[in-house]
Amino acid sequence: MKKRLIVIGAGLESIPVIERAAEMGLHIVAVDANPQAPGFAYADESVIGCVYTPEVTVAALTEWSKKGGKPQGVICAAVDAPGTVAAVAEHFGLTAVSAETARLATDKKAMKDRLKERGIPIPWYQEIFTPAELEKIIDERRETLVIKPVDSRGARGVLRLVYGSPSMPDPRRAFECSQKESPSGRVMVEKHLEGPQFSTEGVIINGKTYCPGFSDRNYEFLDRFAPNIIENGGDLPSFLPQDAQDAVKELSGQAAIALGIENSMFKGDMVIHKGKPYVIEMAARLSGGYFCSHLIPWNTGVDLLGSAIRLALGEIPAQDELSPSFQKGVSQRYLFPEPGKVVAIEGVEKARAVDGISMVEIRTEVGAQISPATSHPARAGVIMAVAENREEAIRITEEAAALIKIITE
Ligand SMILES: Nc1ncnc2c1ncn2[C@@H]1O[C@H](COP(=O)(O)OP(=O)(O)OP(=O)(O)O)[C@@H](O)[C@H]1O
Ligand SMILES: [Mg+2]
């Protein structure tokens, strides 16, 4: 009989995980609150449940298992829901991160407290409770800061406060904007660490770090979307020399282990500030943005999804499965149309036809409303290319991006 894998999240970016699990011969039970979630069409069974409310999902799956049987694994895909994964795993006796690790990985304040305690380099940070506290910190520190919700995701309410700049928002407004994105109304402030940013992704197996995923993150739109911090894709392999990459990977693994990640996956947001690596955030799950499912395998040949799924089933993947077998150039850019109503979408087929383009996905349609880019879900499409080297991949992606016109009024 096929093993049953519960996949938490059935949105667009969860589909590759569901597809990979199906290829591995598993029976997939997908969970999402949205009955129209596109991933449901790829799963064997669909269960309605809020992926961010562990008890709702556990109750829905308990009901399902009366007929469906016992699951053998649980994983979340492109949703930041380790708390739900942990609760489901505990309920059914499966292998996954603990509830405590999930809490440390999703409460940014608790995460930073733990990392600080373990001597992991992180930016200065403090939880704040009033706009007046923010004003005081700005006056005292006189440096660029980041204000963020303690427990949100997708860059919602994450604002860069550039000291002395005309784009500096009013501290009261910034506080409110960040606070309203926090489900618990909690806000924190950090020192903004200047320097190149990187995504890392891998797994910890028996205390050892395997980190095949390493990408430069693109922040070319910091000014355009200020004070929001919106990432515009990334490029692989990194421009960083190998020894610096190794240091960032090493630190990612230490941070993951500090949060209690064991025989499971991690995704790091890292920065090199004044020549030294720091952790901005460490997630206990697979990445979104097609990083784990497309960019890493295209760049290295590593089937990270396969390894993550095996870990979720309680199996230990072979080490050589996690070593890059090549380094191809890969680039990814998003589409950010001007806010307004979409009246035309042009050039998509031309963009798809550009040699080297491996995916063009349009996430809007004529008649849809484009809202200002204040978080990652505002991305209206994604373009990816694979080439012999990184420069070529970037050139191809940018050429294709320039061909696509999403016209709004
Ligand atoms: N202290 C900091 N210094 C420099 N950059 C930062 C800092 N804090 C956040 N950023 C930038 O803002 C991005 C979003 O912040 P953060 O990861 O805390 O929020 P998020 O909602 O979890 O976003 P995402 O889901 O994209 O990871 C980070 O990935 C990083 O690029
Ligand atoms: Mg983050």
- Closest atom of ligand 1 relative to the 152 alpha carbon: 21
- In this prediction, residues 214-220 reach a mean pLDDT of 97
Ligand 2 ion local residues (Cβ < 5 A): 269, 281
Domain boundary among 165, 191, 217: 191
* Strand arrangement, sheet containing 234-236: 276-283, 264-273, 197-205, 208-217, 234-236, 329-335, 381-387, 357-362
> 68 and 145 share a domain?
no
pLDDT one-digit tens code per residue, 16-38: 999 999 999 999 999 999 999 99
Average model confidence (pLDDT) for the chain?
97
Q: Is the pLDDT of residue 375 over 90?
A: no
Give distance in angstroms: CA of 158 to centre of ligand 1.
7
Closest ligand to the CA of 106: 1
Q: Of 96, 112, 137, which residue constitutes the final position of a domain?
A: 96
Confidence (pLDDT) at 376 = 82
Q: Identify the domain containing residue 146 by its residue range.
A: 124-191
* 183 and 201, same domain (yes or no): no
- Ligand 1 binding pocket (C-beta < 6 A) is 123, 146, 148, 152-156, 158, 190, 192-193, 197, 229, 269, 271, 280-281, 376
**pLDDT, tens digit (0-9, with 9 covering 90-100), for 171-192:** 999 999 999 999 999 999 999 9
Whether 101 maps to a domain, the answer reads no
**Omega of the bond prior to 227 within 30 degrees of 0, cis?**
yes
Task: State residue 377's pLDDT score.
Answer: 78
27-32, strands of its sheet edge to edge: 45-48, 27-32, 4-8, 73-76
Q: Are residues 181 and 199 in the same domain?
A: no
Number of domains observed in the structure of the chain: 4
Q: Are residues 255 and 371 in the same domain?
A: no
Residue that terminates a domain, selected from 312, 327, 342: 327
Residue nearest to atom 11 of ligand 1 (CA): 229
> Which ligand 1 atom lies nearest to the CA of residue 195?
4
**What average pLDDT does this structure show over 215-225?**
95
User: Does residue 55 sit in the same domain as residue 75?
Assistant: yes
> Mutation test of ligand 1: which of 122, 158, 181, 201 has the most ligand atoms closer than 8 Å to its C-beta?
158
User: For the domain that residue 158 is a member of, what is the CATH number?
Assistant: 3.30.1490.20
CATH of the domain at 247: 3.30.470.20
Give the mean pLDDT of 266-288.
98
Residue 108 in any domain: the answer is no
Question: Is residue 86 within 8 Å of residue 98, measured between CB atoms?
Answer: yes
